[in-house]
Amino acid sequence: MPFRSVGGKLVIAFLLSARTITFVQAQSVTSKAVAVIANIEGTWQGTLHGDRDRRAVVKITKMPDGTLRSVIFMIDQGDQPITIKKTTFQSGALWLEVDAIDSTFRGRISEDGSSFIGDWKQGDQTTPLILLKTTPDTAWSIPKPRASQASMDPNADPNFEVATVKLSDPNVQGKWLSGNGGKLRTQNTTLSDLMMFAYNVHSKQIVGAPSWAESDRFDVAATPDLPGTPSEAQLRGIMRKLLESRFALKYHTDKKEMSAYVLTVAKGGPKMVESSADNKTISSFNFTKLGHLTFRNITMDGFAHWMQAGVFDRPVVDRTHLQGRFDGLLKWTPDETQFTAFGVKIIPDDSPDAPPPIYTAIQEQIGLKLDAARATVDVMVIDHVEKPSDN
């Protein structure tokens, strides 16, 4: 199950149908058809059929330099456009790479030039998809962006108005933390998980915690005491107050040199897509499976935080100096030191087509560099903590 980030908003994992439909064979492409559709600017739409039908709308624009840019709307799942990393049309074949939702489309033009017939692939699932060129009469309506709740005053220091902390149901799977609708919620999170989020630290930066801090799991729900949607920093502040109130947490800070990972920009520069969303929009950090990560609208500080929280056995120090928010896809083969926060045992994948190790993947796929190094980091020394009080 994915460990999901907050980013100040609801975390969304775009999951398409799990059932694969028999492939529809594309018609052969003639030079005439290619000529008809030489200019593929405009809007194309089609339905992914499966356990639940999902409608996709692709808008393609030709840039002044002749390159193609496009976005896709999954209109039954939300109102936000998803940036398509790469759009290629050559010899009648259309190729779309949608890293933000770990998807690709490869299709060929029909004889009359009115459609592309091909396959949509997301993760390990492949589904046939026919994209039809739209007209004003046939185009589906794209949902208008929902009016978002006004942001909380950035200078405000909110507390929680109402909060519940209870032991997690052992029969419920999945660990996540979300800020949907401005409310802070978690599922199956340990005290260590909550502290990692609240104070932006790795578990190794927490010193003197009792053994139950890594074993007991809690579901948390907290509503801010001030109007407006809190930022991620304000959500962290609410979590800190909740830990002090319900867990009677007391600590002091210190510094310690320890093994860490240092994140920098690789030679050649970053290869991530700069997000088209603003900083009030959804951010996500989602694993479709271990070592198979999609992230959307995330800062480098956020990327480093969630990599250390969910993946690595040591802190991650961001030294990329990259500003802004990014979308990307990262696939690698995990080793036994990774994903310990998920409580799973990694079985090495030695198959010939297995993705590369994280060090290679992060450089080749998103243009960053990860180095093991010694670094001096802040640590939290626990002076006192208790199991949570009754709600």
Q: Single out the residue of 253, 248, 206 nearest to residue 384, CA to CA.
A: 248
pLDDT value at position 390? Answer: 62
Whether the CB-CB separation of 14 and 101 falls below 8 Å is answered with yes
**Pair 322, 264: CB distance under 8 Å:** no
Which is it for the CA torsion 2, 82, 121, 90, positive or negative? negative
- The pLDDT tens digits along the chain (391 residues) read 344 443 333 332 333 322 222 223 333 444 554 444 457 899 999 999 987 899 999 999 999 998 999 999 999 877 778 889 899 999 999 999 987 788 899 999 998 889 999 999 987 789 999 999 999 999 999 887 666 678 889 899 999 999 999 999 999 887 888 887 788 999 999 999 999 999 999 999 999 999 999 999 999 999 999 998 898 889 999 999 999 999 999 999 999 999 999 999 999 999 998 887 765 665 788 887 789 898 888 999 999 998 998 899 999 999 999 999 998 889 999 998 898 877 777 887 888 889 999 999 999 999 999 999 999 999 999 999 999 976 6
**CB atoms inside a 10 Å sphere around CB 361:** 19
- For 353, residues 6+ apart whose C-beta sits below 8 A from its C-beta are none
Residues 219 and 385: their CA atoms lie apart, in Å, by 18
How confident is the model at residue 146, as a pLDDT?
A: 64
CA separation for the pair 113, 133 (Å, rounded): 9
Which residues does 352 contact at the CB level (< 8 Å), separation at least 6? Answer: none
pLDDT at 161: 94
Residue 158: what pLDDT?
96
The pLDDT assigned to 85 comes to 86
Spell out the alpha helix ranges (H) of the chain: 31-36, 191-199, 212-215, 232-246, 300-310, 358-366
Three-class secondary structure of residue 187 per DSSP: strand
Residue whose C-alpha is closest to residue 28's, from 120, 136, 108, 131: 108
| Strands 103-109, 115-122: pairing kind | antiparallel
Phi/psi for 345 (5° steps) reads: -100, 125
Mapping DSSP to helix (H, G, I), strand (E, B) and coil, where does residue 96 land?
strand
Q: What is the pTM assigned to this prediction?
A: 0.64
Phi and psi at 69, nearest 5°, equal -125, 145
pLDDT at residue 12 in the model: 29
DSSP string, 199-252: HT--GGGEES--THHHH--EEEEEEESSSSBPPHHHHHHHHHHHHHHHS--EEE
In the chain, at which residue ranges do the beta strands (DSSP E only) sit? 42-48, 54-62, 68-74, 82-90, 93-98, 103-109, 115-122, 125-133, 160-167, 176-178, 184-189, 206-207, 218-224, 250-265, 273-274, 284-289, 292-298, 316-318, 326-331, 368-384
The pLDDT score that the predictor gives to residue 90 is 92
